[in-house]
Amino acid sequence: QFGLHLVQIFLVGLTIGMTRVAVPGLAETDFGLADQAFFLLTSFVVAFGIVKAIMNLFAGKLSEHYGRKQVLIWGWLIAIPIPFMLLYSPNWNWIIGATILLGFNQGMCWSMALNSKLDLAKTTQKGLVNGVNEFSGYAAVGIAGVITAYFVELWGAKEGLFIFSLIVILSGLLLAKLTIVETLPWAQLHVQQAQTSGQDTSHQTLSQLFRTASIENKPLVALNQAGLVEKFTDAIVWIFLPVYFLSQNLTLIQASSIIAVYGIVWGASQLITGPLSDKIGRKVLIVWGMVFCGLGVLAIPYTSDVSLWTLEAAFIGFGMAMLYPNLGAAVGDFAPPQHRASLIGIYRFWRDSGYAFGALAMGIMTQWSQNLILPFWFVGVTMLLSGIVVQLSLPKKS
Q: How crowded is residue 396: how many other Cβ atoms within 10 Å of its Cβ?
A: 6
Q: Is residue 375 part of a domain?
A: yes
Confidence of residue 215 (pLDDT cuts 50, 70, 90): very high
Confidence of residue 387 (pLDDT cuts 50, 70, 90): very high
Q: Is residue 242 part of a domain?
A: yes
Q: Are 387 and 230 in contact (CB under 8 A)?
A: no
The amino acid occupying position 40 is: L
The domain total for the chain is: 1
Q: Are 379 and 102 in contact (CB under 8 A)?
A: no
Distances (CA, A) of 7 to 80, 110, 212, 299, 332: 18, 11, 34, 35, 23
Distances (CA, A) of 75 to 35, 325, 330: 34, 22, 26
pLDDT digits (tens, 9 = 90+) for 276-317: 998 999 999 999 999 999 999 999 999 999 999 999 999 999
CATH number of residue 357's parent domain: 1.20.1250.20
Rounded to an integer, what is the distance from CA 220 to the centroid of its chain? Answer: 19
Q: Is residue 274 part of a domain?
A: yes
Lowest average pLDDT, out of 10-19, 195-204, 300-309, 360-369, goes to 195-204
User: Averaged over 57-75, what is the pLDDT?
Assistant: 88
- Helices assigned H by DSSP within 248-339: 252-280, 283-299, 306-333
End-to-end CA distance of the chain: 30
Q: Are 337 and 123 in contact (CB under 8 A)?
A: yes
Q: Is residue 198 part of a domain?
A: no
Q: Is residue 382 part of a domain?
A: yes
Full residue range of the structural domain in which residue 221 is found:
2-181+204-393
Q: Is residue 130 part of a domain?
A: yes
Q: Is the dihedral of CA 225, 229, 234, 235 positive or negative?
A: positive
DSSP state string for 43-108 = HHHHHHHHHHHHHHHHHHHHHHHH-HHHHHHHHHHHHTTHHHHHHS--SHHHHHHHHHHHHHHHHH
Q: Average pLDDT of the chain?
A: 91
Q: Is residue 299 part of a domain?
A: yes
pLDDT attached to residue 199? 60
pTM of this structure? 0.88
Q: Are 332 and 118 in contact (CB under 8 A)?
A: yes
Spell out the residues 6+ positions from residue 185 whose beta carbon is closer than 8 angstroms to its own: none
Confidence of residue 189 (pLDDT cuts 50, 70, 90): confident
Q: Is residue 190 part of a domain?
A: no
Residue 374: pLDDT over 80: yes
